[in-house]
């Protein structure tokens, strides 16, 4: 399983912690930037990670901005992306189990590295349950089609 990771300047330090953690747990990743603390625009980095997921290069994307809000909103504008902005492990696990989330977003000004690592485990180790949840995920795709997202 390969993971695409990306962040804006607000998420740069936490992305470093994420890289260390993914390496430690043996999860392959590609780093799509940003590469420093100079101000950048979070939609650009949401798009980079989403593109890597949609192309099939990566199974999941993990994106970080200051709050996790802007970068998750941007990712969720892209057809086929289901980005879960999580601040707890339960939500992350359920985002896989019920929503078949393919991206995870963090707010670096909200959570620390320890909590982030627990959330990453819950997300990456989670499994989509299918069944009635498939119907609901299909309805999300239908909404994307209907509104030309
Ligand atoms: C950048 O200052 C900040 O707005 C951004 O990282 C993010 O929090 C937006 O949602």
Residue boundaries of the structural domains of the chain: 2-146
Contact (CB, 8 A) for 26 and 18: no
What is the DSSP secondary structure assignment for residue 144, as one 8-state letter? H
The reply to whether the predicted model has a pTM over 0.85 is yes
CATH class of this structure's domain 2-146: alpha beta
- The confidence score (pLDDT) of residue 148 equals 82
Tell me if 66 CB under 6 Å of ligand 1. yes
Catalytic residues: 65, 98
What is the DSSP secondary structure assignment for residue 26, as one 8-state letter? T
Residue 149 has pLDDT above 70, yes or no: no
> Residue 35 Cα, ligand 1 centroid: separation in angstroms?
16
pLDDT category at 142 given cuts 50, 70, 90 is: very high
What is the Cα–Cα distance from 129 to 9, expressed in whole angstroms? 35
Contact (CB, 8 A) for 76 and 18: no
pLDDT category at 119 given cuts 50, 70, 90 is: very high
As a whole number, mean pLDDT of residues 82-95 equals 98
Q: What is the residue with the minimal CA distance to atom 10 of ligand 1? A: 70
């Amino acid at each position: 399983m390969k993971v695409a990771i990306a962040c804006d300047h607000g998420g740069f330090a936490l992305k470093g912690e994420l890289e260390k953690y993914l390496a430690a747990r043996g999860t392959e990743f590609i780093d799509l930037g940003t590469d420093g603390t100079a101000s950048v625009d979070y939609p650009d980095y949401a798009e980079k990670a989403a593109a890597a997921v949609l192309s099939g290069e990566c199974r999941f994307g993990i994106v970080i901005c200051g709050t996790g809000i802007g970068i998750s909103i941007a990712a969720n504008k892209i057809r086929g992306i289901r980005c879960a902005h999580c601040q707890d492990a339960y939500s992350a696990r359920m985002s896989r189990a019920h929503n078949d989330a393919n991206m995870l977003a963090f707010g670096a000004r909200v959570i620390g590295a320890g909590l982030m690592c627990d959330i990453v485990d819950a997300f990456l180790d989670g499994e989509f349950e299918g069944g009635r949840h498939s119907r609901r995920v299909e309805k999300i795709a239908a909404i994307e089609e209907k509104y030309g997202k």
